[in-house]
Structure 1
Amino acid sequence: MAFARHLTRDRRRSAHTVRAYQATAERLLAFLREHWGGPVDAAQLDRATAADLRAFLAARRGEGLSNASAARELSAVRAFLAFAGAPPPRIAGPRVKKGVPRPIAPAEVVALAEEVSEDAAEPWIAARAWAVLLLLYGAGLRIGEAMALTPAILPLGETIRVTGKRGKTRIVPLLPAVRTAVEAYAAACPYALTPEAPLFRGAKGGALSPAIIRRSVRMARVRLGLSDRTTPHALRHSFATHLLGRGADLRALQELLGHASLGSTQIYTAVDAAHLLDVYRNAHPRA
């Protein structure tokens, strides 16, 4: 449809975003046809009201959408209506209740990573954002550690060697999804990835600044209505607490996170369960 072409050609959105936004547009049109009891064309979209959009979101929420996913759905609706020449009605997006404690729920991590990627100016920058955020959440890296990686880690195996604070190195297992994300970025990056250069590049080819990632996360969490505690470091925190939720040994977790003292690791109390401990036990050479 023309909306998809607009997103690809004019907005330079990633293929993932184009598919997601087109699907939302199709769902909205189908809903309005039933809601209004007749066919819907571009001219009729101009009469869509805030009440209509709230009804659409309510129907989607009834299908099981989380707050974060519903907020992304609304973002796509606004983009579609603007493309159709119908100024989107003012409507507040769904918000996560204040005081949501850390760690970030897995679904919110995915929504955050998708939102950051979808806001990227270029498809390769979207792939870069996805890879960086998955390294923080799926491998527990500090943002500075991720920025310090070089193409020497390629091709990726089951683990990577990470250099942390005070030059201490550690071995970190990689989930398949993390490996896929980093490899997709490496394939899409327009700059030569020589072994000594930074793996993650800025838009002009220099080393990517952590500030760029922090700013992108900050803007995305506002759009999604997530807590202001949703930061890049909170993704690493979630990685650790999810591991403990499955019964990870503190000493093993200390080594995995690169903490100099056990006291630093003990701040992570038992929380929601996750499956990463199984990956750690299977992939880490000292597990």
Structure 2
Amino acid sequence: MPSGSENRGAKSSAKSAKAIKAANKKSGGSARGGLPKQRNIPWLTIGAVVAVVALVALLAVNLVPKYQDKAEADKFAPSESNQDPSDGIDGVVKIEYPAALHVSADQRVAYDQAPPFGGPHDQTWATCTGVVYPNAIRSENAVHSLEHGAVWITYNPDRVSDDQRQQLADRVDGKSYMLMSPYPGLDSPISLQSWGHQLKVDSADDERINQFVAALRLNRFGAYPEVGASCSTIPGAFDPDNPPAFDPSEPGPDAVSMDGAGLTPDASEIGGTGLPMAPEPAPAS
């Protein structure tokens, strides 16, 4: 039979074991090594959160400036109270030209501006459905596009970098009533044309480019003569993949003058009056 001292020793050992076990549970440790268990860090969750935050930041960097630029350009949208907002754009040149004066495909016009932005033009317009022409196109066809309400963006290929050219192309590609092409010998890096309006700038970053487009592309208040006319391709008459080429030489003595002397206005376009048709709402982009 165990003695009293042995009983007291057994009870003391049992209490010590319980105390150690309780301490291990409380500290998260292990009874084996007495060391605390390591936490499992959710690296996948952390990585996903970081990726989402980075994506949001990237979208903000790229989209916010574009929305800001659009909001700024929208201030130049034509309205009843401000029918030609280009009057408020510094550097815009305005000239009145007679409309509906057509020349044939083998004729040239002695244009008074380079690039031209009004006056006699080819009876076939250049496709202006957001086409970015890689090579210079015949001016007489492009001017007819302006008569339909398009904006023609031109650039000097020797003075515009690839990045700047791409910036311009992004403004044009796929957008209705827009076209773009190089213009060799241009006296500024970039020039924008609408019927009777022109703006020359030094950089594709110039905010006036968006302002010009907002003010004059399909301006329904008579800023171009042939309201409602198409910009689509004319099958068999104009091939946007192989357009009539730009002629850099000086027009000869047989070139048509800017007043269209000897030409009869095309009555099928605007009644032969040379006046704008009644304005109508511009189609959506």
**What is the TM-score normalised by the length of structure 1?**
0.23
**What is the TM-score normalised by the length of structure 2?**
0.23
Instruction: Give the structure with the larger strand fraction.
Output: 2
* Structure number with higher relative contact order (C-alpha < 8 Å, ≥ 6 residues apart): 2
